[in-house]
Amino acid sequence: MAVYLFYKKVSQISRNINLGKDELINDHKSDRWRNVLLLALGQKKMFKKPLPALLHIVVYVGFIIINIEILEIFVDGISGQHRIFAPLLGSLYAYLVGFFEVLAAMVLLACVVFLIRRNVLRLKRFNMPELNGWPRNDANLILTTEIVLMSLFLIMNTADLLLQSQMPEHYHHTDPFWISNMLTPIFSGMSATSLMVLERGCWWLHILGVFAFLNYLPYSKHLHVILAFPNAYYAKLQAQGQMKNMQDIQNEVLYMMEPDKAPPVTDASAEPHRFGAKDVADLSWKNLMDAYACTECGRCTSVCPANLTGKKLSPRKIMMDTRDRLEEVGENININKHFVDDGKSLLHDYISIEELRACTSCQGCVEACPVSIDPLAIILQLRRNLIMEESNAPQEWNLMFGNIENNMAPWKFSPDDRDAWVKD
């Protein structure tokens, strides 16, 4: 049931991402696989800040490798055996479990440090307005869950070691495990029955915790542990600062100059073409996957010059708002079987004009993101819609637009008079 529920939610997320416009990304495959290895697996960008990077990689590696031990727990439950791999691996078994325990202890310690950074030291990027409420609780809940799961694993092994001497007919003898062996004095005064209840209780709670985490993952920002890999693969490879031209606008100019090249209108009732993006369906599927891949770490916002100078823009909030709107659209589809206009849009209802105008297009947020999420691509599309469809721009911009249209330059000089200044 847990696996089915996980699959159902992931399928909905996949559908939501595919609501976006098509975008063909299949170039430079070797460079893209290199990004997967360096950014998603190797976490290269994380090491711009060494301490949190080391803590994060401990949690990441521990999370992956300890799942091997969880596999044995599941097999034991299905087969009715106890430590089914112990007879097969012999003395190597204790070394493997000992290694898993060291990782578990490191994960536990790292999670405690992360909780302190968030809630005691209250680092600025973890205490910004967009994290108020559920986002902050989400991060704390995941860290607390990791601590509980690692503690259950270590306590279960400690009780198991003590029971090996008291109930040898059921608990296979193994060499002492590295961490739990040091914890045995804490529980040495307990009876065999109490130890068995403790060991079995930790076993069940660990299994239930893993299944609960599996189903919580798609609702949490920690979905990035899965989406970081495809997101790194599809990250843009262009040089920083290089932006895509608006092909739609180029086409419109071309069709005005050469009407014979304009495509025929096949359906007069079709919706008019939209320039830029107003809602999530106007963005590309890659933009929408970016939103789900965001881990809300705030590195983008911490380097944003607009945010640092007190302006309202936060690139992290752009991604969170996009994901929230996409989830709302997805729920609308779940209820109505298709999207029914709810009178809302990503632009205006979620992301304000003030936020969009504050962006300097410096690409700092893209460079800072550990998996190269691109908030700027969303900002540009929303800003283009403001200007191209709503004619909503500051007066200074409108003057510049008018000059470019009439004089082919930002300045208020006709082309014939542009070189007049050299006469004097």
Instruction: Give per-residue pLDDT as tens, 281-312.
Output: 999 999 999 999 999 999 999 999 999 999 99
**Assigned token pair, 368:** 């800072």
What ranges do the domains of the chain cover? 26-232, 275-393
User: What pLDDT sits at residue 339?
Assistant: 95
- Please state which of the ranges 1-15, 152-166, 270-284 shows the lowest mean pLDDT: 270-284
* Nearest-angstrom CA–CA distance, 158 and 104: 13
Single-letter amino acid, residue 261: K
pLDDT > 70 in the chain, percent: 98
pLDDT > 90 in the chain, percent: 62
pLDDT at 210 over 90: no
Look at residues 343, 341, 296 and name the one whose alpha carbon lies nearest to residue 322: 296
User: What pLDDT sits at residue 61?
Assistant: 85
User: What pLDDT sits at residue 28?
Assistant: 92
User: What pLDDT sits at residue 271?
Assistant: 61
**Assigned token pair, 361:** 């297009």
Beta bridge partners of 284: 21
pLDDT at 49 over 90: no
User: What pLDDT sits at residue 265?
Assistant: 63
Of residues 422 and 163, the one with the higher pLDDT is 163
Over residues 58-83, mean pLDDT:
84
Give the residue ranges of DSSP H helices in 294-424.
Answer: 299-302, 305-308, 315-336, 353-358, 364-368, 375-390, 395-407
Nearby residues of 410 by Cβ (< 8 Å), 6 or more positions away: 400, 403, 404
The answer to whether the Cα torsion of 106, 111, 117, 123 is positive or negative is positive
pLDDT at 65 over 70: yes
The pLDDT tens digits for 149-197 are 999 999 999 999 999 989 888 888 888 899 999 999 999 989 999 999 9
Centroid of chain to Cα 319: 9
Rg (CA), the chain: 28
User: What pLDDT sits at residue 269?
Assistant: 54
User: What pLDDT sits at residue 301?
Assistant: 96
Of residues 63 and 79, the one with the higher pLDDT is 79
pLDDT at 397 over 60: yes
- Please state which of the ranges 26-40, 136-150, 202-216, 406-420 shows the lowest mean pLDDT: 406-420
CATH topology of domain 275-393: Fumarate Reductase Iron-sulfur Protein; Chain B, domain 2 (1.10.1060)
Given pLDDT bands bounded at 50, 70 and 90, which one contains residue 249?
A: confident
- Please state which of the ranges 48-62, 107-121, 232-246 shows the lowest mean pLDDT: 232-246
Given pLDDT bands bounded at 50, 70 and 90, which one contains residue 413?
A: confident
pLDDT at 55 over 70: yes
The pLDDT tens digits for 328-385 are 999 999 999 999 999 999 999 999 999 999 999 999 999 999 988 999 999 999 999 9
- Residue 169 is given by DSSP the state T
Across the chain, what does the average pLDDT equal? 90
User: What pLDDT sits at residue 267?
Assistant: 57
User: What pLDDT sits at residue 248?
Assistant: 73
pTM over 0.85: yes
